[in-house]
Structure 1
Amino acid sequence: MTIYTTLLGEKFQQLHPKLQHRYALPLGQRFFATGVMSQIINGGRWLYPFYCLASKANFLFPESGQEIPFSIANRCAINPDGEAEVAWERTFYFQNAERKFNAKMTVDLERKLVKDFLGDIPFFYSDLHFDVTKEGFLFITSGVQKVMFGKMGITLPDIFRGRVTVLEGYDDQRDVYTIHVSIYNAILGRVMMYAGEFEESVH
């Protein structure tokens, strides 16, 4: 068992079979898929300096657009701390730029959540809560968030947190995975939203 099957326990069997396949992720195996984001929208222009800085660490980015090709790769391995860790690499192929949104996830069984370290440095951390909808979709919401300085983190007050919601499903009629991600802040409004679909492929 790897981190998502361990975390969700019996609920894992309630996921759509294709999502069970996607999130089983045995150690050393890889999931790779390609698809199209029907829409990617970031926040206001005044956030542009922040997006540019974040893009240096392969976190957020300043581009928006429609019908943007993308790929996603996941692999589970044992990290230097001896924990099972899933690496996420999302790549968005804009007309004038290639942007990545990377992360590494481990599980905290005591608190029953996923620890999500965002970016390649990384400089941002978020608790993630995983659940399964009655339709068999995976529903993810964020909790405590921190700005990281090495292994030390400063917890962000609620008002400064990015409220993350993720809904991932599978469309049986079209044989595609579906994804909708929203990051929203109480002060800034929308920080980023993207929605699209993808298919597993050999890479």
Structure 2
Amino acid sequence: MIYEKLLGESFQRLHPKLQERYALPLNEPFQATGMMQTIETGSNLLHPFYRLATKFHFLFPESGRNVPFTLRNVCKQMDNGDYEVEWERAFYFGDKVRRFDALMTVDTERHIVKDYLGTPALFYSDLHFSVTKEGRLLIRSGLQRFVAKKFEMKIPPCLEGRVIVEEGYDDALQVYTIHVSIMNPLVGRLMLYAGQFTPVD
């Protein structure tokens, strides 16, 4: 619902399966299971930060190949009448489960998605949505802030985690595809993951 409102006419250029996935009727969850062919985190020097982030269901220190994961999205209406989408991702490293949560709302005046990352939120990022000529969904991050309860502080550009997400659909394999890259100008890769998933009831 909120993504169709954000993309406008461009929404119709998404692959039909992506239109189906991002329609997200109110209170009707989209749930999926899949496999991340690769998950790569950054330098060992970042592990203290990753360990802190895991407490907020955000980033995590593990890397791996062929990592099972689950995804759940649901659109809800808030008390002020606006809509928000809950994102819940769980990655299964053996008997260890890592989560990556977010809450998204649309800012219609600025034409961006407002993304609060973590539970409770640890970071905020503007997200810019567009559709590629192949019908894939492309998401890029913009302005970012550190969040501590009701306090928010802008993150200097040199400390940002610059995000690029590309989601598509493979007609031959009949699976959704996802590729996420989070990079920092100073230390390089913060996280990269790429994989496939299919919906479940």
- Provide TM-score, normalisation by structure 1: 0.97
Give the residue type in structure 2 aligned to 1:49.
P
Give the match for residue 86 of structure 1. 85
Q: Secondary structure at the match of 1:23?
A: helix
Distance in 1 (alpha carbons) for counterparts of 2:168 and 2:3: 15
Give the match for residue 174 of structure 1. 173
Give the match for residue 193 of structure 1. 192
Distance in 2 (alpha carbons) for counterparts of 1:82 and 1:45: 44
Distance in 2 (alpha carbons) for counterparts of 1:81 and 1:162: 30
State the 1:80 CA deviation: 3.9
State the 1:149 CA deviation: 2.0
State the 1:81 CA deviation: 4.0
Give the match for residue 15 of structure 2. 16
Q: Which consecutive aligned stretches of 4+ in structure 1 deviate over 3 angstroms post-superposition?
A: none
Distance in 2 (alpha carbons) for counterparts of 1:24 and 1:177: 15
Q: Secondary structure at the match of 2:85?
A: strand
Distance in 2 (alpha carbons) for counterparts of 1:34 and 1:79: 27
State the 1:76 CA deviation: 0.3
Distance in 1 (alpha carbons) for counterparts of 2:81 and 2:159: 32
| Structure 1: gaps (5+ residues) | none
Distance in 2 (alpha carbons) for counterparts of 1:166 and 1:98: 22
Once the two structures are superposed, the pairs formed by residues 1-203 of structure 1 within 5 Å of their partners are 2-202=1-201
Name the % identity: 56
Does 142-151 or 168-177 show the bigger shift? 142-151
State the 1:78 CA deviation: 1.3
Distance in 1 (alpha carbons) for counterparts of 2:85 and 2:2: 8
Distance in 2 (alpha carbons) for counterparts of 1:194 and 1:81: 35
Give the residue type in structure 2 aligned to 1:61.
F
Distance in 2 (alpha carbons) for counterparts of 1:63 and 1:32: 24
| Structure 2: gaps (5+ residues) | none
Q: Secondary structure at the match of 1:59?
A: coil
Give the residue type in structure 2 aligned to 1:28.
N
Q: Secondary structure at the match of 1:121?
A: coil
Give the residue type in structure 2 aligned to 1:23.
Y
- Provide TM-score, normalisation by structure 2: 0.98
Supply the RMSD in Å over aligned alpha carbons: 0.8
Deviation track 1:126-180 (CA, whole Å, cap 9, x = no partner) reads: 0000000000000000000000122331111111111100000000011000000
Give the residue type in structure 2 aligned to 1:186.
P
Distance 1:102 1:94, change over 3 A: same
Distance in 2 (alpha carbons) for counterparts of 1:193 and 1:185: 12
Deviation track 1:87-127 (CA, whole Å, cap 9, x = no partner) reads: 00000011141010000000001000000000011121000
**Number of residue-to-residue matches in the alignment:** 201
Q: Secondary structure at the match of 1:120?
A: coil
Distance in 1 (alpha carbons) for counterparts of 2:81 and 2:122: 21
